[in-house]
Structure 1
Amino acid sequence: MGIEKDTVEIWNIYGSHQLARRLELPELDRWDWGIPDTEPGIEAIGEVAGLRVLDLGSGLGRHAARLAALGAEVTAVDASQAQHQRALARYPDTAGLHLVCADAVAHLQEAAPYDLIYSIGGVPYVDPHRLLPAVANGLAPGGRLVFSALHTNSYGTGPSTAVVPRPEVLRLPGTDDYHSVYMWVLEPQQWKNLLAQYGLAVEAVTAIDSPQENQSVSYRLYSARRPERGAGPPRGPRPVGGDDASRAGSAFD
């Protein structure tokens, strides 16, 4: 978990920077999965009223707050203490919204099953061989996982064909200060194989490309489901190692 711990520290730097800026971002007027002004939006999640929902890598918490306002019982988990503090300051007492600072896997191992787990760009920061079995076990039978993942970075570097992390670039908003963070930027087939390996049935993979012609950054949106009872339990993890070099760029809260 050394790479992941380093990543959390970078997000602490990011969160502290945003706290110091005191920038008041508006509430969401439109939902996106990593690139503004792109489809699909919130409809990719479907009806959430009455569901137990988990937001992985929730950051400022605007997306989680939106779902809570729609009637979901939402737990928003972020491993960064600084990002968690930003969310607490913004949503100190919001009905249906529970803010948690924790490692995603540790939380999933302790929490009751969720009907829906989603993540906007956060899944690739965690070793999929550690995260996905916890997600599969953390979903109620028939529950869904919906997440977006970086596919091509802003430098035009496409996804890796091997399940290994590589360095990408995280810029502090309003500055020219860049930090290197490791991510699992994988081909769609690799994500589909991983999801299937841990007992999740892939339902859809949707391309999300930048609407600007001079921007190469793109994401993929993955939707998968834990089978209903009787299909057998999700399978356990196996080790992963190695790395590759590249660069990226993406926008976060």
Structure 2
Amino acid sequence: MREITPALAWEQFATRATPRRATNAAGATTWLNWTQYPDHGPDETILGDVSGKRVLELGSGSGSNLAHLATLGARCTGVDIAPSRGAVAEQRWGRGAGLQFVTQDAVDYLRASEDHFDVVISIFGATWFTDPAVLLPLVHQRLAPGGRLVFSHNDQPGNAGERERPIRKWNLAGQRWVDSLLAAGFATATFEIVPPPNADLPGTLLVSATMPSG
């Protein structure tokens, strides 16, 4: 029986993923959305001006969020463990000096990389599916002084890291993320709950942390 590794599990998930719409409700062809609901919640402005900055996305999927930041002048790298995601991203958004996609586990990429980034983002991505005791120190090493980590996932705190599953979630509450980020060496860490469009649905946990300035 074939072992279901995390890479294979994510590849199977990718085959069932619905492609992002060609345009959003405002008619834009690229956009960034932090929540699990279309046309809802904050946009890229919470990152500040990204023009000229190096941005890394952990769990970049089809590349749609990262491609939007590239249109704003960011130099973007997306990392995703599922091979088909990088292929889909390149087919839709292309590849060049300002936008590239890497097929690799996020932890392996961070351990091997010698690059430094101004911004690291993860939207329902690797920060939700990787032990923070492992991931956060590695992100800290790859962020430039004054850099920022911003990530989001469902606001449904619960048990962290079910070991019997190839894909494990760390459903941490906001304050636990803050404590973990500060313990990893970040200078500041905050969180907010983005309310859902319907009260019967879960909200979105949005977490932001900054590096010491120097």
Q: TM-score, normalised by structure 1?
A: 0.73
Q: 1:113-152 to 2 correspondence within 5 Å? A: 113-122=116-125, 123-152=127-156
After TM superposition, list the pairs within 5 Å mapping 1:189-200 onto structure 2.
189-200=175-186
Total equivalences in the alignment: 202
Q: CA deviation at 1:206?
A: 1.5
Q: Does 1:25 align with 2:11?
A: no
Q: Kindly state the Cα deviation for residue 203 of structure 1 after the two structures are TM-superposed.
A: 4.1
Q: Judging changes above 3 Å, is the alpha-carbon distance between structure 1 residues 129 and 203 closer, same or farther for their aligned structure 2 residues? A: closer
Letter in 1 for 2:72: L
- Kindly tell me: are residues 203 and 192 of structure 1, through their superposed partners in 2, closer, same or farther at Cα, counting changes over 3 Å? closer
Counterpart residue identity of residue 145, structure 1: L
Per the TM alignment, residue 94 of structure 1 is displaced from its structure 2 partner at its CA by: 4.9
Q: Deviations over 1:2-40 (max 9, x none)?
A: xxx84432220122334xx8x573156343212323322
User: Which of 71, 74, 82 matches 1:72?
Assistant: 74
Structure 2: gaps spanning 5 or more residues: none
Structure 1 residue matching 2:95: 3-state secondary structure: coil
Name the CA distance, whole Å, in 1 between partners of 2:142 and 2:77. 13
SS in 2 for 1:212: coil
Counterpart-to-counterpart distance in 2, 1:81 and 1:61: 13
**Residue 204 of structure 2 corresponds to residue 227 of structure 1:** no
Assess if the C-alpha contact under 8 Å between 2:195 and 2:203 holds in 1: yes
- Write the deviation string for residues 218-253 of structure 1: whole angstroms up to 9, x where unpaired: 221111111122xxxxxxxxxxxxxxxxxxxxxxxx
**Correspondence for 2:104:** 102
> Which aligned segments of 4 or more residues in structure 1 are displaced greater than 4 angstroms?
none
Residue type of the alignment partner of 2:69: L
Aligned to 1:8: 7
Partner of 1:41: 43
RMSD over aligned Cα atoms:
2.3
SS at match of 2:204: strand
The change in CA–CA distance for 1:184 and 1:62 in structure 2 (over 3 A counts) is: same
1:106, 1:182 → 2: CA distance? 17
Instruction: Tell me by how many angstroms 1:88 deviates.
Output: 2.1
